[in-house]
Amino acid sequence: MTLIAFGQTGQVATHLAELGVTCFGRETADLNNPAACTRLIETTDCTGVINAAAYTAVDKAEEQEGLALTINGHTPGAMARACAAKGIPFVHISTDYVFDGSGDTARTPDDSVAPIGAYGRTKLLGEEQVRSAGGRHAILRTSWVFSAHGANFVKTMLRLGADRDRLTIVADQIGGPTPAGAIAEACVTIANRLATSPGASGTYHFSGAPDVSWADFARAIFEDGGITCEVADIPTTDYPTPAARPLNSRLDCTTTTDVFGIDRPDWRAHLRDILQDLAKA
């Protein structure tokens, strides 16, 4: 199967490239230009497409919702329609931010959506447009992505923890940290399955296990990274941000396992591997 991906420097795209997927950046196909992305799909000899690119600046999206709507909403829709016209699979990465973050149970793909901020609204539009395109597709919602590449919570904690004796970290937001490499592998597996089983099209969840708070995630990073830094729990209300964050980011990934045979990755094992890679860098 000949797969191409939108996104070149992001965490998931970096791992897709390592898996042999041809990844395109904005200089080839700018996500702010849906027509350019459509042309790339139409003119490329590909048999499947993965969209690993997005507007992910959650706070800035509150002020730049129009731009985020194009990149996260209209452009994925254009990609999906181009794939539908060619009869090839389209895998689109989405987010837990399409939910309102209420409750304390894991959300299933069929649960009602109600985003609480601009970023979530733009990603929800993307989901809706991908579904309405009518082709074989998979929307893969994930959360708390981390890797040895790019900017993420793990690298931020390593930097801050090395300089400080104590950090205050939010403890009432709960979710599953998800290794970018595992997301990339899941996307490739799903695309290959859709090529032969279009009936597997739908919305799926994929996040790391076990679910944990940001504060406890930070403690694990410091422990495995050999960093002596105290973590003090604080509520979200003590760490105000321009965009509201969901308190409950738990995702029920049962259908992803049932349909594709993909289990939730153990983020603790992946964290140790990533820390080893960063130590060698």
Q: Which residues are paired to 137 by β-bridges? A: 90
Angle at 106 between CA 100 and CA 112, to 5 degrees: 45
The number of angstroms, rounded, from the C-alpha of 167 to the middle of its chain's C-alpha atoms is: 26
Q: Which two tokens stand for residue 37?
A: 């992305």
Name the catalytic one among 55, 97, 119, 204: 119
Residue 51: phi and psi, rounded to 5, are -100, 100
Q: Which residues are paired to 210 by β-bridges? A: none
Cα dihedral: 117, 120, 126, 131 (round 10): -120
Contact indicator for 279, 130 with CB cutoff of 8 Å: no
β-strands 22-24, 3-6: how paired? parallel
Cα distance between residue 221 and residue 193, in whole Å: 35
Burial of 73 (0-12, 13-18, 19+ CB in 10 A): buried
97 tagged catalytic: no
Contact indicator for 81, 41 with CB cutoff of 8 Å: no
Query: Which residues are part of the catalytic machinery?
Result: 119
